[in-house]
Amino acid sequence: MTTVFAVSDLRDQVGESPVWSVAEQALYWVDIEGRQIRRYDWASRSVQSWATDERIGSIVLREGGGLVAGMESGVFEIDLPAGNPHAAERLLFPMTFPQAGMRFNDGRCDRDGRYWVSTMVRDMSLAAAVGSLYCVTRAGIGEPLVSGLITGNGLAFSADRRHLFVSDSHPNVQTIWRAPLSGDGTMGEREIFVDMKPLPGRPDGAAVDEDGGYWICANDGGQVHRFTSDGKLDRSIAVPVSKPSMCAFGGPDLDQLFIASIQPPRPVEGYDAARDGALFVTRPGGRGIAEVPFRTR
């Protein structure tokens, strides 16, 4: 059995979007509802936190340092000043959503430094299929590339750079798609990669390994699943909480899998409520691929 550890005593309301910085040997992640950015330093095993003005759905590294974030009113550049508990935020690209109560959600950079990010209605109970997938470059936010999403998630890019993955984690959908991706960022027609309905959990945030495996958090299922490049379930790792949300490879050798989590509205039988919202780490076997920062030039 794979051993899973909590990295600190911190508990997030909605822990999401872990991303490993090779240059800093540190992991960044967010608490969406707590409006916090967190940084875990590998050498010191310490965590720092910065408050933000808006909810952050996802973060990516920024070329030259700092972060880029999809928030409630647009895409922002983020700096994290030492000794200041509040992040420095600068709006890069404002966003006009199709209806009120929306924000950016899951996102990752592809191997060429483009930030792919989805949108959603914050109140998932409305099951509003008005979310979309966008590709953000230094020129701005492009036109929607996928529409009709309720809760877009699962963004990742295959090890061979040829495919994009995206999921919809809403209980009504629970599907992972794969689409061809050309070198210039053109996305082809998506096809179903995995139907998650027969499996434990809903398909939330994801990562890929150097061997082509696709790892996705099974929200409400207390597991992280690995699928092979042909969509076959290879193995599952149990975590001690019901709502793992997103995973990312990190550590000096990129062989550690960090797993963020969410606190459910009430304790779930069979899980350790005291650990809900923790950031976990495990060594699952295999190695990840270094994240590419958002290209600013």
> pLDDT by residue (tens digit) across 154-208?
999 999 999 999 999 999 999 999 999 999 999 999 999 999 999 999 999 999 9
Confidence band for 1, pLDDT divided at 50, 70 and 90: low
Query: Which range marks the domain in which residue 204 is found?
Result: 4-282
Give domain status of residue 26, yes or no.
Answer: yes
pLDDT tens per residue across span 211-240: 999 999 999 999 999 999 999 999 999 999
The CATH number linked to 140 is 2.120.10.30
Give domain status of residue 295, yes or no.
Answer: no
Q: What is the pLDDT of residue 2?
A: 78
Mean pLDDT, to the nearest integer, of 139-146? Answer: 96
CA distance readout (Å), 282 to 8, 86, 105, 279, 288:
14, 30, 25, 10, 13
CB 105 within 8 A of CB 136: no
Give domain status of residue 273, yes or no.
Answer: yes
Give domain status of residue 172, yes or no.
Answer: yes
pLDDT > 70: percent of the chain: 100
Q: How many domains does the chain have?
A: 1
Give domain status of residue 293, yes or no.
Answer: no
- The answer to whether 204 is a known catalytic residue is yes
Catalytic residue among 12, 106, 168, 204: 204
Give domain status of residue 60, yes or no.
Answer: yes
CB 281 within 8 A of CB 259: yes
pTM exceeds 0.95 for this model: yes
Asked if the model's pLDDT at residue 56 lies above 90, the reply is yes
Give domain status of residue 294, yes or no.
Answer: no
Interatomic CA distance for residues 45 and 250, integer angstroms:
14
Give domain status of residue 234, yes or no.
Answer: yes
